Amino acid sequence: MRILPSIALAAALAAAVPAAAAPSSDMGDLSAGAAAVRDKALTDSTAWDVTESLTSEVGARMVGSPAMTRARDWGVAKLKALGFENIRVEPFATPAWSRGPESAEVVDPWPQKLAILGLGGSSPTPAGGITAPIAVFRSYQAMLDQPPGALAGKIAVVTQAMGRTQDGSSYGAVGVQRRSGAAEAARRGAIGYLVRSLSTDDTRLPHTGAGTPGGIPAAALSPPDAELLERLAARGQPVTVKLDMQSSVNPAAQAWNISGEIRGGEKPDEILIVGGHLDSWDPGTGAIDDAAGIAIATASARLVAQQGRPKRTIRVVMWGSEEQGGSSGAYLAAHRDELGKMVVAGESDGGAGRIWSLSLPRIGADHPAMTAFKASLPRLNVTVSRAAPSGGGADISGLIANGVPFVDFNQDMSRYFDLHHSADDTLDKIDPAALAQNVAVWAAFLYTVANSDIDFRARPATEAK
C-alpha cells in the first residue's frame, strides 16, 4: 500500500526540506555543498539513533516472523519521523525458513556437546535426531573429490577455515561450502552436513547463513568445535555424532520492501536509489547486518534534504528479504517501469566499518559532480579505485542486471566476519565514528548526484556526437 503524509507531516517536511531553489550544478557550489554535508555528517547522530532504535525496539528480524512485521511498522514510522515523503509498503511473498530446537554432540568415543546453528534451508532430522559416524574433510574440495556413495550413512564435516581480509574477499572464496555443501554431501550419500562457520573469530559462537537445500540436516559449527572434530578424527578412531534439528519452511511468507523519498524539485522523476536490508538472521540483533546499512542510507539522504530540496529524487529503500532472498526480484517487478529513470543505485550491506575505497561508474567519471564528490574524500581517508563497480549488493542485483548504473562503497570488513550472522552481531560492536564516516561519504555522493545533471549511462555513439 501507499502511505501518504498527513498535513502535520507535510508541514514538518516543509521545514526539514526547504523549498529553496536547488543549488547550482557548477563545480564551486557542488564542492561546497558536498563539503557541508560531509562535515555535518561527522557530528550527526541520526545513523546511530536509527541503528539503536531498530536493534533495541525490534531486535532479530527473520523473514516470516512476528518480529519482521514489527520491523515493517518500525520502518514506516521511522521514515515518517525523519521527514520522508511518498512512503510505500510493497508486499511480496517469499519462502521463509524458520529455526526450531537444535543440538549436536559427540557420543563416541568421548562424549561432549557441540555448538551449532542450523543453516537456512536445512531439512529437519527425524524426531529424536540422527546418530552417525562422521567423515571429516579439511577442505571443501576434498569432499567434492569423493565419488557417489562414498559418504553413505555418514555425517559429512568440512572444516576449511576462512581468512581475514579487509575487503571480505575470503567470504566469496569459501562461501560455497556453506551455500552448496549440504546438496553436494547428499549427492555422495551423506545423511547430514556440518561446516565450519564462515567466520574469522575464535569464539564458540557459530555463524548461520543460507544454504542450498540438500534434503539433509545442515548446520554451522563454531570454529573451536570444527577443530575439535578434526583432532578427534585424526586419532584414528571412529567418531560418532548425534544431530537433532527441527525447522520448518513457509513457502509463501509475507515480506515487504519499504521506501520513502526526498522528492526532487526540478527533476522529481529522476531517482537515486539507496538503502539497506531490513531483515536479519536470528542469533543476534542484526546490528551490523544490516541495521547499520538502513541507518547509513536514511541519515545520508536526510542530510542532503537539510541542505535544501535537491533537483532529483532520493529514494531510500529498506529491502525486506535479503538473507533468504526475494527482495531484489520483487523490487524489480514493482518498479520495472522506472528503470530508465533510475540515475544510480547503491546498497550499504557491509557492516559499519569505515569506507576505505570506492568504485564509480566509468561513464561520467569526469563530470563536475564526480569531481566535486572526489574532492570531499581525502578528509575521510577514502580512495577512488580505477576499477569499475562489480558487486553493488544483493538487493539491487535485479536493477543492475537491467542496466541501472551502480556504485561499490567498500567498507573495512577486517572484523565484520567475527560478528556476521552470529549472536555477537549487536549494537555494542559498532563504532559511532566509523558509522558517521559512512554517512559522510554517502551524503556527499548523494548531494552531488542529486543536484547535478550527471548521466552514468553509456549512450550510442550516434547520440553522443
Does 280 share its domain with 223? no
Percent of the chain with pLDDT over 70: 93
Would residue 11 count as lying in a domain?
yes
238, 273, 302 — which closes off a domain? Answer: 238
Asked if 298 contacts 50 with a C-beta cutoff of 8 angstroms, the reply is yes
Q: Which three cell numbers stand for residue 25?
A: 550544478
pTM of the model: 0.92
Does 332 share its domain with 429? yes
Compute the mean pLDDT over every residue in the chain, rounded to the nearest whole number.
93
Does 79 share its domain with 117? no
User: In this model, does residue 6 exceed pLDDT 70?
Assistant: no
- Would you give the end-to-end CA distance of the chain in angstroms? 44
Position 22 scores a pLDDT of 42
Q: Strands, E, within 294-339: which ranges?
A: 312-319
pLDDT band at residue 26 using 50, 70 and 90 as cut-offs: low
Would residue 148 count as lying in a domain?
yes
Report the pLDDT averaged over residues 420-436: 98
Does 387 share its domain with 257? yes
Report how far residue 34's alpha carbon sits from residue 351's, in angstroms, rounded to the nearest whole number. Answer: 24
The residues annotated with a catalytic role in the active site are 322
* Closest alpha carbon to 317 in 260, 269, 397: 260
Does 338 share its domain with 422? yes
Element (H, E) at 88: strand 85-108
CATH of the domain at 124: 3.50.30.30
Q: Which three cell numbers stand for residue 119?
A: 543453516
369-378 burial string, b = 16+ CB within 10 Å, else e? bbebbbbbbe
CATH of the domain at 449: 3.40.630.10
Would residue 156 count as lying in a domain?
yes
Does 261 share its domain with 346? yes
Q: Look at residue 45 and give its three-state secondary structure.
A: coil
Is residue 203 classed exposed, middle or buried when 0-12, 13-18 and 19+ CB atoms within 10 A define those classes?
middle
Would residue 102 count as lying in a domain?
no
Q: Which three cell numbers stand for residue 248?
A: 520448518
The answer to which of 17-26, 247-256, 257-266 has the lowest mean pLDDT is 17-26
Does 381 share its domain with 456? yes
∠ CA 353-358-364 to the nearest 5 degrees? Answer: 150
For the chain, what is the domain count? 2
238, 267, 301 — which closes off a domain? Answer: 238
Report how far residue 184's alpha carbon sits from residue 2's, in angstroms, rounded to the nearest whole number. Answer: 44
Would residue 243 count as lying in a domain?
no
Does 361 share its domain with 441? yes
pLDDT in tens, 197-242: 999 999 999 999 999 999 999 999 999 999 999 999 999 999 999 9
pLDDT in tens, 284-342: 999 999 999 999 999 999 999 999 999 999 999 999 999 999 999 999 999 999 999 99
Mode of pairing for the β-strands spanning 85-108 and 2-3: antiparallel
Position 28 scores a pLDDT of 77
Q: Look at residue 271 and give its three-state secondary structure.
A: strand
Compute the Cα dihedral for 276, 346, 392, 270 and give only its sign. Answer: positive
Does 201 share its domain with 83? no
Report the pLDDT averaged over residues 82-88: 98
Torsion of CA 401, 450, 433, 278, to 10 degrees: -40
Would residue 123 count as lying in a domain?
yes
Does 298 share its domain with 424? yes
Does 269 share its domain with 221? no
Would residue 446 count as lying in a domain?
yes
Report the pLDDT averaged over residues 250-271: 98
Q: Locate cell 557492516: which residue?
A: 351
Helix, strand, coil share (%) of the chain residues, nearest 5: 35, 25, 40
Does 151 share its domain with 222? yes
Domain range for 167 is 110-238
192, 213, 238 — which closes off a domain? Answer: 238
